[in-house]
Amino acid sequence: MKKYTIEDKLICLELAEQIGFKQVSEITGINIKNIREWSKKKEQLRKINNKKNTFRLPGGGAKPKTLNLEIELVKFIEQCKIIGIIIDSALIINELCRIQPEMLKKNRRALRKWCYRFLKRHNYA
């Protein structure tokens, strides 16, 4: 399955306005259902800043299973910033295990990977 940038999607939509969804689908090989879905989200796609390197709208993808836990961790990190505590992955993992003790059952490598993804999701990395 090929991924299309937002710029590619907008180009297809402009072409679809001129010649139709079916013809664009035949020319590009993109499923007509995808083009119709993009058409419904056209205004949102136009509002994205970095169209060349972005593939989906903000909020796309699966939601984290640990959302409530992540909210608590974000509050903890913000409090640490205010106090001036240096934040690293070990500190976050320790707080994570304090909040949710069953996380202690996971191995440290899995916790570190989770921590790095958490930091990336919340724009700390």
CA distance 97 to 102: 7
- For position 26, what pLDDT does the model report? 93
Dihedral of the alpha carbons of 54, 59, 65, 66, in degrees to the nearest 10: 100
User: What's the residue count for the chain?
Assistant: 125
Q: Quick: pLDDT tens for 7-45.
A: 889 999 999 999 999 999 999 999 999 999 999 988 888
- For position 12, what pLDDT does the model report? 92
**Residue 65 buriedness (CB in 10 A; 0-12 / 13-18 / 19+):** exposed
Residue 82 pLDDT greater than 80, yes or no: yes
CA distance 52 to 30: 18
Residue 86 pLDDT greater than 80, yes or no: yes
Rounded mean pLDDT, 68-91: 92
- For position 1, what pLDDT does the model report? 63
Residue 64 pLDDT greater than 80, yes or no: no
Can you give the pTM of this predicted structure? 0.52
Q: Quick: pLDDT tens for 109-122.
A: 999 998 998 898 88
